[in-house]
Amino acid sequence: MNYIDLFAGAGGMSEGFIRAGFKPIAHVEMDEAACFTLKTRVAYHYLKSKGQINFYQDYLSGKISRSDLYSKVPSHLLESVINLPIGPEFNTKIYKKIEEQLKGKKVDLIIGGPPCQAYSLVGRSRSVDKMVGDPRNFLYVQYAKFLEKYKPKIFVFENVSGLKSAGKGVYLKNMETLFLKKGYNIQLFTIEANNFGVLQQRKRIIIIGWLKDKNLRIPNLEAVKINKGYIVSHLFEDLPILQAGQGIERVSNYTTNRINKCLKDSSIRKASDILTLHVARPHTEQDKEIYRIAVNLLKKGERLNYSNLPIRLKTHSNQHSFFDRFKVVNGNSSFSQTVVAHISKDGHYYIHPDIKQNRSITVREAARLQSFPDDFYFEGFKEEKNRTAAFKQIGNAVPPLMAYKIGHMIKINL
């Protein structure tokens, strides 16, 4: 089954659907760094299918450049990543590029979801006008234009749970009306990523829509309850120990026998994987002192309240809200706090649970919390490391493991 990924981001949702047996026709994304990540993943899947994964491993090891890697891939596959913003100004151009990829084939499925900031509760709380005037509120209208254009049998629309209350429910109601007008029945599900085996608390809305003249069985996503007894520390325990500011961008000789069952079951790690992006941020002595306090409190079953810090450690001008701005990732829990794009700005909300390491989590650790496989590489804007871009992509992504479960459930019901 062929699909188009709209508002694709780094491709977390797409990765899951590929694993479930679907075939991508095009990924549409406006962020340049995310598009490089998508192209690199296109290269991975192509080279793997041709038995030439060694070229990809050479890239991860730093033996060849990104342009060298891309030269091993047919240009039309790289061109399936469309770096344009979805909207009236560029839709015609996007349609043309998609048609070049389709070559007469049909689109069976459309996946994706517009940027969530305009619907999120956090975004609205920080906005002066509560995001009322934000044009991203209406990107679902553009999504519907692609439904009208390609008439897929089914679509999967993902967004934050705040969508239900944004605009006092008006946006969601208008969305339902519009999708129905375009010929689609819909079913809305409110799901938790940790119920799909992702070791992270991540509440999301999934809307599944299907053509009204198709008699399709829609799986009940809210009935999924996967719990294999894994805890967050299982995601980190095989990784090299780092202090703040330490790490190597690409570790080509990383081997260990400690690939636990959690990493295998989640399709996160294989013995042949090359470790990348496991580099710790540098931190000030003040931040590291706060981190130690936070970790020691968690050992007692308590969370740090910023207002309770010694005065000498309280430097934020806003001391009347966001009391949990310093938060430890609880290694003994069955899920972590939600990984969001703000992790690109600082790591204070994602402190490593090991006090001996005394740092915030790395890009690779954040990716594992999101269930990305270790062979998934997050790109920057140029052929160089860009930790900020990688963190942002991870925070905005759909967990691939959750997407795989959804894709698999849809496929067996079609």
**Active site members:** 116
Q: How far is CA 81 from the centre of its chain?
A: 17
With the CA atoms of 45, 75, 89 and 394 taken in that order, what torsion angle do they form, in degrees rounded to the nearest 10?
A: 30
Q: Which one-letter amino acid corresponds to residue 357? A: Q
377 exposure class (CB count in 10 Å sphere: 0-12, 13-18, 19+): buried
CA neighbor of 35 nearest in space, from 72, 85, 92: 85
The Cα–Cα gap between 260 and 236 comes to: 10
26 contacts 14 by C-beta, under 8 angstroms: no
The C-alpha angle 347, 353, 358, rounded to 5 degrees, equals 65
Residue 353: how many CA atoms within 13 Å on its side-chain side?
21
316 contacts 323 by C-beta, under 8 angstroms: no
CA 272, 276, 278, 279 torsion-angle sign:
positive
CA 154, 159, 162, 165 torsion-angle sign:
negative
The Cα–Cα gap between 236 and 362 comes to: 10
Residue 373, SS3 per DSSP? coil
With b for 16 or more beta-carbon neighbours within 10 A and e for fewer, the 60-75 pattern comes to beeebebeebbebbee
> SS3 for 206-222, per residue?
EEEEEECCCCCCCCCHH
Q: Quickly tell me which residue has 């891309």 as its tokens.
A: 70
Indicate the helix (H) or strand (E) that contains 141.
helix 139-150
The Cα–Cα gap between 410 and 414 comes to: 6
The DSSP 8-state label assigned to residue 245 in this structure reads T
